[in-house]
Each structure stands twice: as structure tokens, then as C-alpha cells.
């Protein structure tokens, strides 16, 4: 994949190798202050360096961990610098659902994007080349999604120039420890609060579909398999929890009359207090009274761990949740934009490019042979008045003969 303009460096895009991890860690550390999400990526890099050989082996055959760390780097082969100096940028992608029809762009980063922002924002720059390479290389993907901070103007311009459109605006809220202590004292009696298992995947899938607009439901393209914990993923999750000193608690509220799940929460708790607790909350739109109950339940669970704030996400289509969090006194800490791009119709159009009508309709090609005469003519020719009278008289005699034949048949029947 190369740029189509001579003003920008032609780069070669390839999968990441072990020798590239040091450069990735260095560029992530340099942009750590301007990109808050780089902290989690730096931690993932450290884990990948330890288990790079195992992850490379798992990527050779289908399994749930083959795309755990799928990164492509862009290098410039024209320069004479060492290999680590020739890298221009990288892109990190991952499948969004189990069906692998929707993929997610985790991060796009270009070297020296502050000194030369056009390398990232220009439609023919390194950032656009990385994005277009993934859009063409990942043949399974029909839709791409990503999340970007609204303050990152260069990255936002890059995504817009490559066809990404906004889906929803997400707000990250922080509940302070004092607020959590107040919530923990409230009544949180939920008689139908049940633990989550793989047998409840269908209920959680139905709740997820109801809680979002149809457009997001179509883009995410989830099914019940997305809410099941497979063996390898569960094993990897347990290992990460032990390594990061975290614990996961989750549950859902069951409605016995409807036989459906009406609320769900998932808590990622920090045992050593090094980072805030994180929460994922899904509530049925018809049961908004569950917000105080579920938040009180989560606040009671948080009290058993070191005193830290609780991070929660709300979308602009969840008006009741945002109003409740504002009334509760939670503070917004970050605003992001959820964007998507469809590539399914582009792939179908690309297959038809360069095809002529004769290539698509091969059965209708002209054959050199003598035409067969026919009585029908597509052109309406004028008829003379004498010819018209002759035709009318022939029709009249023909009808008269038919009528006489029918009358003779009736006479014969009557005589019999």
C-alpha cells in the first residue's frame, strides 16, 4: 500500500514484529500526555512482549485469541536509517463481535504528527494509508467502528476524511468515593438479582438490543455468542485479573412476568487502588427506576475494596441516565465520539469496476449470422385506405361465417 502522491512518503505496511515493540512503546510514551488512552495500550504492549511467541502461534489457526494484538506498522524502505528509525506509524485493530462482521479501530498513531500534522490529517498521508490498508485487507469486515476524543482534532479529521460518520456521543462520568459512600447507604433491595452465566446469554442479548437505537444495533451486529465467555477468553481474563490486581463482579435483574432481563451491570474493581473502578451498565428503557437501585448495589460492592472513584459511560440517546447522573452530582471527565463506516457496498462496487456490459451479459452478445424473417415489426408503418378497407371486409366475412356456423349448430341440437 503506497501513497498516490509524490509529496508524501511511500510506505510499506506489514504486520507487527517483535523488533517493532520497542519503537511502539517509545512512541506511545511520547504521546502519553496528549492521548489518555495510550496508558492501556502501553500496558498491553508490556504483556505482549512477554507472550509474543504464544500469541504469534495462536494467530495461525482459528481461535478467540488470534486477534488479541493485531497491529500493522508503516515503514519507509527508501531511507538508510536503522530499521527502528524507518517506522512512520502504526494502527491497532480488533474484531468487535464474535461474527467478525464488525471491526474496531483501537488506535492510529503517526510518528512526528505534532511537528508534521499533515502526515496524519492529509487524505494521502501515512494515517490514511494505514486506514485504507485495513479497510481492504480485512475481508470479513462489513462495518468499522471507532471511538475518538472530541478534542483530538487531527485524529477526528483523519477519520472524517476516510468516510467515518458519527453514531453517538459518549460521556465518561466519575463518581467520587464520598458519593459512593452516600449511595451505599440507600436501599438496594432487588429480589431478582441473579449472577451471570453462559446460560443467560440470550437474555442479555435481548436486553442489549432493546437498550440501543436500531442504527447502532445494525452496526454492532451482535448475537447471543457475544455474551458468552469462552474457555480461552475466560482463561485470558483470569490471567489479566491476576496480573493487574483486579476483580470482576456482574449480575442482572430478571423479570419473571416477561421472562426477560431488564438490567445488567459489570464492575471491574481495582484491588490495589492504582486505578479507578470501572462499571458497565445496561438498563431497559421501560425500567428507568432501576438506575438508583443498581447504582446503590454497585456502590455497596465497591465499599469492600480500596477507596477509589467509579467510572461510568452514558450515551446521548440515554437521556434518563445522563439526567440522573447530573442530578446525582457525578462529574463528566471525557467526551468521545462513536463513529462508523460501512465497506460492504464499496466492496461490491469495486468488483464491478472495469466491467463492460458485454462482460456482464455474455449471453446477449451479437452472433454473426443471417437474420430470420418474422411477421412482427417493431416499427409502426402507415396503412393505405384501400388496404384498410380490404382488411375490414375480411374481418367482417370471417365473423359472419362464424355466426352462421354457430346458428347451424343450434338448429341441429334443437332438431335432435
Query: Could you read off the pLDDT of 104-159 as tens digits, one per residue?
Result: 999 998 876 555 555 566 777 888 999 999 999 998 899 999 999 999 888 999 99
* Lowest-pLDDT range of 148-152, 182-186, 397-401: 397-401
pLDDT computed for residue 347 by the predictor: 44
The CATH superfamily of 1-163 is Gcn5-related N-acetyltransferase (GNAT) (3.40.630.30)
pLDDT computed for residue 164 by the predictor: 94
Output the average pLDDT for the chain: 79
pLDDT computed for residue 119 by the predictor: 59
Q: Which residue has the higher pLDDT, 25 or 277?
A: 277
Q: Which residue has the higher pLDDT, 42 or 1?
A: 42
Q: Where are the domains of the chain?
A: 1-163, 166-338
pLDDT computed for residue 16 by the predictor: 87
Q: Which residue has the higher pLDDT, 123 or 95?
A: 95
* Tens-digit pLDDT profile for residues 352-368: 444 444 444 444 455 55
pLDDT computed for residue 20 by the predictor: 84
pLDDT computed for residue 369 by the predictor: 55
Q: Which residue has the higher pLDDT, 87 or 403?
A: 87
Edge-to-edge strand order for the sheet containing 260-270? 12-15, 70-75, 87-95, 102-110, 143-149, 331-342, 165-175, 310-315, 277-283, 260-270, 246-255, 193-195
pLDDT computed for residue 283 by the predictor: 95
Yes or no: say if 130 and 81 are a contact pair by the CB < 8 Å rule: no
Average pLDDT (199-208) is 95
Instruction: Give the relative orientation of helices 38-50 and 21-30 as an angle to the nearest 10 degrees.
Output: 160
Q: Cα–Cα distance between 9 and 88 in angstroms, integer?
A: 9
Q: Which residue has the higher pLDDT, 404 or 349?
A: 404
Q: Cα–Cα distance between 162 and 282 in angstroms, integer?
A: 31
pLDDT computed for residue 241 by the predictor: 85
Beta strands in 11-123 (DSSP E): 12-15, 70-75, 87-95, 102-110
- Residue 49: pLDDT band (50, 70, 90) is confident
Q: Please, what is the Cα angle at 252 between 248 and 256, to 5 degrees?
A: 160
**Over 70: is that where the pLDDT of 371 sits?**
no
Average pLDDT (193-200) is 93
pLDDT computed for residue 401 by the predictor: 53
Place of cell 519503537: 23
* Lowest-pLDDT range of 233-242, 351-360, 397-406: 351-360
**Over 80: is that where the pLDDT of 14 sits?**
yes
Q: Is this prediction's pTM over 0.85?
A: no
**Over 60: is that where the pLDDT of 59 sits?**
yes
pLDDT computed for residue 43 by the predictor: 72
* Tens-digit pLDDT profile for residues 83-94: 445 788 899 999
Average pLDDT (70-76) is 88
Q: What percent of the chain has pLDDT over 90?
A: 44
* Tens-digit pLDDT profile for residues 306-340: 889 999 999 999 999 999 999 999 999 999 999 99
Q: Which residue has the higher pLDDT, 254 or 386?
A: 254
* Tens-digit pLDDT profile for residues 288-311: 999 999 999 999 999 999 889 999
Average pLDDT (374-399) is 54
Q: What percent of the chain has pLDDT over 70?
A: 70
pLDDT computed for residue 149 by the predictor: 93
pLDDT computed for residue 69 by the predictor: 81
**CATH fold for domain 166-338:** Aminopeptidase (3.40.630)
Other beta carbons less than 10 A from residue 92's beta carbon? 21
Place of cell 451486529: 221
DSSP 366: -
Amino acid at each position: 500500500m503506497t501513497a498516490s502522491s509524490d509529496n508524501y512518503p511511500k510506505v510499506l505496511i506489514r504486520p507487527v514484529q517483535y523488533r517493532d515493540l520497542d519503537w511502539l512503546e517509545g512512541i506511545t510514551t511520547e504521546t502519553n500526555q496528549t492521548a489518555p488512552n495510550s496508558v492501556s495500550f502501553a500496558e498491553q504492549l508490556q504483556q505482549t512482549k512477554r507472550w509474543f511467541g504464544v500469541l504469534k502461534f495462536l494467530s495461525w489457526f482459528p481461535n478467540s485469541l488470534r486477534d488479541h494484538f493485531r497491529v500493522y506498522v508503516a515503514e519507509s524502505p527508501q531511507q538508510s536509517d536503522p530499521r527502528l528509525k524507518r517506522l512512520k506509524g502504526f494502527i491497532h485493530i480488533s474484531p468487535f463481535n464474535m461474527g467478525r462482521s464488525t471491526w474496531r479501530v483501537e488506535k492510529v498513531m503517526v510518528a512526528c504528527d505534532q511537528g508534521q500534522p499533515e502526515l496524519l490529517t492529509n487524505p494521502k498521508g501515512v494515517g490514511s494509508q494505514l486506514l485504507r490498508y485495513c479497510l481492504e485487507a480485512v475481508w470479513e469486515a462489513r462495518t468499522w467502528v471507532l471511538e475518538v476524543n472530541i478534542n483530538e482534532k487531527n485524529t477526528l479529521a483523519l477519520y472524517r476524511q476516510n468516510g467515518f460518520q458519527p453514531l453517538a456521543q459518549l460521556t465518561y462520568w466519575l463518581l467520587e468515593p464520598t458519593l459512593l459512600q452516600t449511595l451505599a447507604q440507600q436501599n438496594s433491595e432487588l429480589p431478582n438479582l441473579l449472577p451471570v452465566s453462559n446460560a443467560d446469554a440470550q437474555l442479555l442479548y435481548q436486553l442489549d438490543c432493546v437498550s440501543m437505537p436500531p442504527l447502532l444495533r445494525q452496526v454492532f451486529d451482535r448475537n447471543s455468542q457475544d455474551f458468552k465467555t469462552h474457555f480461552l477468553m475466560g482463561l485470558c481474563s483470569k490471567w489479566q485479573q491476576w496480573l493487574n490486581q483486579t476483580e470482576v463482579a456482574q449480575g442482572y435483574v430478571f423479570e419473571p412476568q416477561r421472562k426477560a432481563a431488564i438490567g445488567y451491570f459489570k464492575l471491574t474493581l481495582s484491588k490495589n487502588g492504582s486505578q479507578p473502578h470501572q462499571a458497565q451498565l445496561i438498563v431497559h428503557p421501560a425500567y428507568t427506576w432501576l438506575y438508583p437501585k443498581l447504582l446503590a448495589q454497585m456502590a455497596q460492592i465497591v465499599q469492600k475494596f480500596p477507596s477509589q472513584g467509579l467510572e461510568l459511560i452514558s450515551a446521548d440517546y440515554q437521556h434518563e441516565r445522563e439526567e440522573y447522573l447530573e442530578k446525582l452530582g457525578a462529574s463528566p471527565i471525557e467526551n468521545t465520539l462513536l463513529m462508523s463506516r460501512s465497506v460492504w457496498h464499496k466492496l461490491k462496487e469495486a468488483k464491478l469496476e472495469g466491467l463492460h456490459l458485454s462482460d456482464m451479459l455474455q449471453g446477449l452478445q451479437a452472433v454473426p449470422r443471417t437474420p430470420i424473417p418474422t411477421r412482427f415489426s417493431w416499427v409502426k408503418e402507415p396503412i393505405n385506405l384501400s388496404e384498410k378497407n380490404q382488411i375490414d371486409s375480411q374481418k367482417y366475412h370471417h365473423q359472419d361465417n362464424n355466426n352462421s356456423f354457430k346458428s347451424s349448430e343450434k338448429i341441429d341440437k334443437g332438431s335432435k
